[in-house]
Amino acid sequence: MTKRSWLGAFLDRNGLALGLYILFAVSFWLLFLIILPQLAMIDFSLRHDLPAAQQGGPLDVWTFENYRHFIFGLPGNPDGWNRLDVGVFGRTIVAAAFVTILNFAICYPVAYYLAQVAQGRQARVMAVALVVPYWVNEILRAFAFRIIFGATGVINSTLQALGIIDLPIDFIRADIALYAGLGYAYVLLMVFPLYNAIESLDRNQIEAARDLGAPWWRIHTRIVLPFAKPGITSGCTMVFMLAAGALAAPQILGGPSNLWFTQLIYGQFFESVNWPRGAAYAIILLVACTLLVLLVMRLFKVRLGEIGK
Partner 1 sequence: MAGGVSVELDQLLVQFDKFVAVRDANVRIEPGEFFSFLGPSGCGKTTILRTISGFLEPTAGSVRIDGKDMAYIGPNKRPTALIFQNLALFPLMTVWENIAFSLEMKGVAVADRRKRADELLALIALDGQGDKYVHELSGGQKQRVAIARALCAEPSVLLLDEPLSALDLKLRQHMRTELRAIQRRVGLTFIYITHDQGEALTMSDHVAVMREGVIEQIGDGRSIYDDPATAFVASFVGENNALPGRVAEVRDGMALVDTTVGRLRARIATAARDQLRVGAEAIVFIRPEALDLDTAGASDETTIHATVIGEEFEGPNLHLQLRHESGTELRASLVNKGRTGTASIGSSLAAAFDPMKAVALPSGALSAEE
Q: Between 177 and 206, whose beta carbon lies closer to partner 1?
A: 206
Task: Write down the least CB distance from residue 155 to partner 1, Å.
Answer: 39
**Cα–Cα distance, 187 to 129 (Å, whole number):** 12
215 sits near partner 1 (criterion: CB under 8 A): yes
207 sits near partner 1 (criterion: CB under 8 A): yes
DSSP code of residue 164? S
Judge whether 178 and 96 are in contact, CB under 8 Å.
no
Cβ-count burial 138-151 (b if 16+ within 10 Å, e if not):
eeebbeebbeebbe
Task: Write down the least CB distance from residue 300 to partner 1, Å.
Answer: 13
Residue 64 to residues 127, 193, 262, 281, 305, Cα–Cα distance (Å): 49, 39, 21, 12, 34
87 sits near partner 1 (criterion: CB under 8 A): no
Count of residues touching partner 1 (by CB under 8 A): 17
Task: Write down the least CB distance from residue 217 to partner 1, Å.
Answer: 11
209 sits near partner 1 (criterion: CB under 8 A): yes
DSSP assignment string, 181-248: HHHHHTHHHHHHHHHHHHHTS-HHHHHHHHHTT--HHHHIIIIIHHHTHHHHHHHHHHHHHHHHT--H
For residue 11, count other CB atoms closer than 10 A to its CB.
16
**Cα–Cα distance, 238 to 240 (Å, whole number):** 5
Q: Between 137 and 204, whose beta carbon lies closer to partner 1?
A: 204
217 sits near partner 1 (criterion: CB under 8 A): no
Task: Write down the least CB distance from residue 204 to partner 1, Å.
Answer: 4
119 sits near partner 1 (criterion: CB under 8 A): no
* Residue in 101, 123, 169, 214 binding partner 1, rule: CB under 8 A: 214
Segment interacting with partner 1, rule: CB under 8 A, options 19-27, 176-184, 207-215, 296-304: 207-215
* Residue in 185, 223, 239, 241 binding partner 1, rule: CB under 8 A: 223
Q: Between 123 and 214, whose beta carbon lies closer to partner 1?
A: 214
Residue 97 to residues 128, 182, 228, 290, Cα–Cα distance (Å): 28, 11, 19, 13
In the stretch 226-265, what mask flags binding to partner 1 with x, by CB under 8 A? xx--------------------------------------
Helix/strand/coil for 142: helix
* Residue in 12, 60, 79, 202 binding partner 1, rule: CB under 8 A: 202
Task: Write down the least CB distance from residue 211 to partner 1, Å.
Answer: 5
* Residue in 5, 137, 204, 257 binding partner 1, rule: CB under 8 A: 204
222 sits near partner 1 (criterion: CB under 8 A): yes
Task: Write down the least CB distance from residue 275 to partner 1, Å.
Answer: 49
**Cα–Cα distance, 303 to 234 (Å, whole number):** 11
**Cα–Cα distance, 255 to 175 (Å, whole number):** 6
305 sits near partner 1 (criterion: CB under 8 A): no
**Cα–Cα distance, 185 to 103 (Å, whole number):** 10
**Cα–Cα distance, 116 to 232 (Å, whole number):** 16
Q: Between 135 and 217, whose beta carbon lies closer to partner 1?
A: 217
Q: Which residues bind partner 1 (CB under 8 A)?
A: 202, 204-205, 207-215, 218, 222-223, 226-227
